[in-house]
Structure 1
Amino acid sequence: MEKVNHEINSHKLLANSNLVTPPIVAKQSNVINKSKYVFSSHAEFLSGYFAACASITTLFPLNKLIFRQILDGVSFRDAFLQLKKEGFRHAYRGLLPPLIQKSLSYSIMFGTQNEYSLWLHHLYNQSPAGSQNKINPNVVNNSITAIAGAMAGLTEAFLTPLERVQAVLQMNQYHHRFKHTWHVFYDVNKTYGFRELYRGLTVICLRNSLSNVVFFTSRAQFKNYFPKTTSSFKNMLYDFINGSLLGASISTVFYPLNVFKSHMQARIGGKFLTIREAFWLVYESRERNLGRLYKGVGSNFMRAIFAWGITNSAYEFSLNKLKHLKIRH
């Protein structure tokens, strides 16, 4: 009898313990879920920064040559002769703004895109549609990637003043007026106000968001077409080819937006041009020929092949190294 009573009491204790356990487990699971969505894109931010530094430093003279083609509507040869006449000491004039702007911009582009993606996935998983898996996962992933890319592009746009200063320093009519990057910032801000540094913001927002959507939604899919390999060199080569073809195609499609931006930022003071006004200004100046909106696109395509090839391969290389170091530690 005592044995029976002991077994009954044991079952009661076990039942009571089962009643207590679930709330504790649930509380622990909430803590775990929250920890999964803390800021976790450090490697992406750093890799974007390193990739931009490598690309901009290598290709700055070519970027400057293309800018002259865009602004003046001249041939590659004429733009090259302009730079040659100005001398080598002016070849890297204006490097600091794009170096700062692009390193920060690519850091923001890759880092925030990844962070926005994590955040949007978290929001979706918490929604009724996500918890019940009502939507095809591929559609969800592509949609979130596109939205995150557009948001990252808009976030990048706060760096417009650096792009603005770069445009001023690359124009030969301002060689004697402005000495260096900080002189442009100081003089323009003092004379015309901080708003002047954001000239061309609308077209930059449009360019950044649209190009990011295409880039991030296509990059991983294009990489799947390359052979699988464990070779570091082949991986870097495939990343270079992937980035160069994708980046060159995107920059060619959205090339006219850069033309409009350059003409918006070619002036200091006066009325701010809208995208529509910039279009008509360029269109009229190029004898109402739509094909001439693409003047310089060949040089831009070649530059983009190397720029985005270097950027993508350097980004993937840095990202793999940083994540490997994180795992080891």
Structure 2
Amino acid sequence: MGEQNHSPGKELQHRTRAEAPGKESWHSQAYALGAVSNFVSTFLTFPIYKVVFRQQIHAMAVSEAVRQLWHEGPQYFYRGIYPPLLSKTLQGTLLFGTYDSLLCFLSPVGPHTLGHRWAAGLMSGMVEAVALSPFERVQNVLQDGRKQARFPSTFSILKEFNSYGLWGRLSLGYYRGFWPVLARNSLGSALYFSFKDPIQDGLAEQGLPHWVPALVSGSVNGTITCLVLYPLIVLVANMQSHIGWQNMPSLWASAQDVWNTRGRKLLLIYRGGSLVILRSSVTWGLTTAIHDFLQRKSHSRKELKTD
């Protein structure tokens, strides 16, 4: 117990990095746990996310967004949850697994500098954006209350996208709003992974229970990252809510439209930010804590087998 108070995160990290490349490491378990933790977190926080989405689209207060969802009825309350459940489950496998693989490639035995963590986070965010952008696109169309009659299900949206030509399926369909998604995900991953370990190690030196630094680090870091990138989140939601060939605004036109409809005020751009803090705190805190727990437990099993 006592020796773990001295930067246990760094110590564990260096030990796992030093394992032989041919041996099975904790990576496979990290994929599985990331998937489960993201699945559970997404299900629990989806109502918060849906309220935030309505604020981003309609620039309304929390009470108005909740009232709107209430009037639509309970049958629509979890409408649109399947794409985020699937995408967040995949995100859990990609986020930690891809980042760790890239970090090992950049610096096989460590120590891992800020530059290494930033580069690995940036590239893992790019992979995540390419893989998951279509899921977010479908999710945002489903969550837009204005499109419930025209697109009552995921299948109806996919049918619409598949009716386009090949380029239309990508640019107007599945990858609508891809460039702000790419910027948001890559920068978000880079910021999160660059500062997650320093925060966690600093808290661990205070002698706190091992799960507390991971929970606090993930919660604080994920929240700050989301708030820094919140304007991109709003832009993505608005761009991906459009559908069809007619009147499809460009990236610049969409950004101008969001700025103008928010009265050219940064405060209105950040409407819904309070709920983002809550959702990000729960999601990233749980994900980081569970991943850290799995990493420790897996390594402890390996030490017992080798003794």
TM range (shorter): 0.7 to 0.9
Work out which of the residue numbers 234, 239, 243 in structure 1 matches 2:214: 239
Q: How does 1:21-36 map to 2 (within 5 A)?
A: 36=21
Which one-letter code corresponds to 2:158 in the other structure? F
CA distance in 2 between counterparts of 1:82 and 1:325 reads 51
8 Å Cα contact 1:50/1:314 also seen in 2:
no
Which one-letter code corresponds to 1:141 in the other structure? T
Matched residue, 1:167: 140
CA distance in 2 between counterparts of 1:180 and 1:324 reads 46
**1:179 CA displacement:** 3.3
Matched residue, 1:86: 72
Aligned length: 281
Q: How does 1:248-263 map to 2 (within 5 A)?
A: 248-263=223-238
Work out which of the residue numbers 3, 6, 30 in structure 2 matches 1:44: 30
CA distance in 2 between counterparts of 1:325 and 1:184 reads 47
8 Å Cα contact 1:229/1:235 also seen in 2:
no
Which one-letter code corresponds to 1:216 in the other structure? F
Matched residue, 2:14: none
**1:285 CA displacement:** 1.2
RMSD: 2.6
TM-score by length of 1: 0.78
CA distance in 1 between counterparts of 2:66 and 2:115 reads 43
- Closer, same or farther: CA 226–89 of 1 in aligned 2, 3 Å: same
CA distance in 2 between counterparts of 1:325 and 1:319 reads 10
Kindly indicate whether residue 181 of structure 2 is the aligned counterpart of residue 213 of structure 1. no
Kindly indicate whether residue 183 of structure 2 is the aligned counterpart of residue 203 of structure 1. no
Q: Please say which of residues 281-290 and 180-189 is displaced more in the overlay.
A: 180-189
Matched residue, 2:106: 120
8 Å Cα contact 1:199/1:272 also seen in 2:
no
CA distance in 2 between counterparts of 1:272 and 1:110 reads 35
Matched residue, 1:6: none
SS of residue paired to 1:224 = helix
- Closer, same or farther: CA 149–171 of 1 in aligned 2, 3 Å: same
Matched residue, 2:48: 62
Matched residue, 1:188: 161
Where do 5+ consecutive residues of structure 2 fail to align? 1-17
Where do 5+ consecutive residues of structure 1 fail to align? 1-32, 126-136
SS of residue paired to 2:243 = coil
CA distance in 1 between counterparts of 2:301 and 2:40 reads 21
Kindly indicate whether residue 273 of structure 2 is the aligned counterpart of residue 297 of structure 1. yes
Which one-letter code corresponds to 1:172 in the other structure? G
8 Å Cα contact 1:150/1:212 also seen in 2:
yes
Percent of aligned positions that are identical? 28
Kindly indicate whether residue 117 of structure 2 is the aligned counterpart of residue 145 of structure 1. yes
Give per-residue Cα distances to partners, 1:55-104, cap 9 Å, x unaligned. Answer: 10111111111100111100000001011111222111111100110111
Give per-residue Cα distances to partners, 1:175-213, cap 9 Å, x unaligned. Answer: 222233233223322246421110011001100111111
Give per-residue Cα distances to partners, 1:281-322, cap 9 Å, x unaligned. Answer: 111112222322111112211221222112222222233344
Give per-residue Cα distances to partners, 1:186-243, cap 9 Å, x unaligned. Answer: 3322246421110011001100111111110101100122245898xx3333322221
CA distance in 2 between counterparts of 1:237 and 1:106 reads 21
**1:324 CA displacement:** 4.4
- Closer, same or farther: CA 283–230 of 1 in aligned 2, 3 Å: closer
